[in-house]
Amino acid sequence: VVVPVATSVQLPHNVPNPAQLVGDAEPFTHLSGDGKSVLLVHESKLYAYKLDGGSWAPQGPNGGVITDQLVEPAGSRYCAINQDGTVVSFMIGVQTWVYRFDGTGGTSGTGTWVPKGSVDTPVAIADDTTGVLYVTLSSDGNSVMCRGSDGRNAVYDYDATLNTWSNVFGGFPVSGQYELKYGRISADGRHVLGVMEDVNNMRQVQVFVKTNSEENGAEWVARGGLQEGPIQSGVLPQLSGDGLFM
């Protein structure tokens, strides 16, 4: 039996019904890992809601609006939320941004959404002007994976000491004739489940793991072989939090 944990989310005043939150048959909502925070995308705005005393309340000022500059139709691949709902990532054109919530609770609390990092700049900017195709976050919100339409894939890690983001582990190795086209980072931030594609658009999946050795330094290493299977273009496969199951 499925039991609601709270009353339904109260939509922004300019959204008369949930049907308007759907575009290209894809619902524009995201749920945090603990089930207590929701991201909601409508038109150019990204809203945050928090479970507050048995009901859903906007998280932060301005009705929970984190940004009103989403120029792309932001479906499930264009924004992400971490385990406890305190960190979100989203796309503005070719730019990848990461924000954290500085404060408490919903409307009854105080706080605001601020850039995670030392300055108000994007974590990554794709080389291709046609836009970024996806973003995924680790559970703690300290690793973000994204790519541009030119095929570049990268994982950026947050350094709490320096308060900056960097791509320490570099790119992903090629497996024969297959290259990584897009992927999903695991909850622990140390594994990536990638969709590999060849020149004939044949797709397989490959798991990569972060390693750091004196000989080779920080790098991504393929774990196991390529796994064949029918994979629809643009679909992000699922990976367990520890990166051991897919």
pLDDT in tens, 195-220: 887 877 777 888 899 998 877 788 89
Q: Measured between alpha carbons, how far is 88 from 109 in angstroms, rounded to an integer?
A: 19
Neighbour-count burial for 227-238, b at 16+ CB within 10 Å, e otherwise: eeeebeeeebbe
* Separation of first and last alpha carbons in the chain: 27
CB 158 within 8 Å of CB 166:
no
Cβ atoms 150, 127 nearer than 8 A: yes
The reported pTM is: 0.80
Beta bridge partners of 113: 101
d(CA 183, CA 197): 11
pLDDT attached to residue 144: 93
Q: Flag the least confident range among 11-20, 24-33, 124-133.
A: 11-20
Average pLDDT over residues 16-28: 40
pLDDT at 158 exceeding the cut of 90: yes
Contacts of 95 (CB under 8 A, 6+ apart): 122, 124, 125, 126, 132
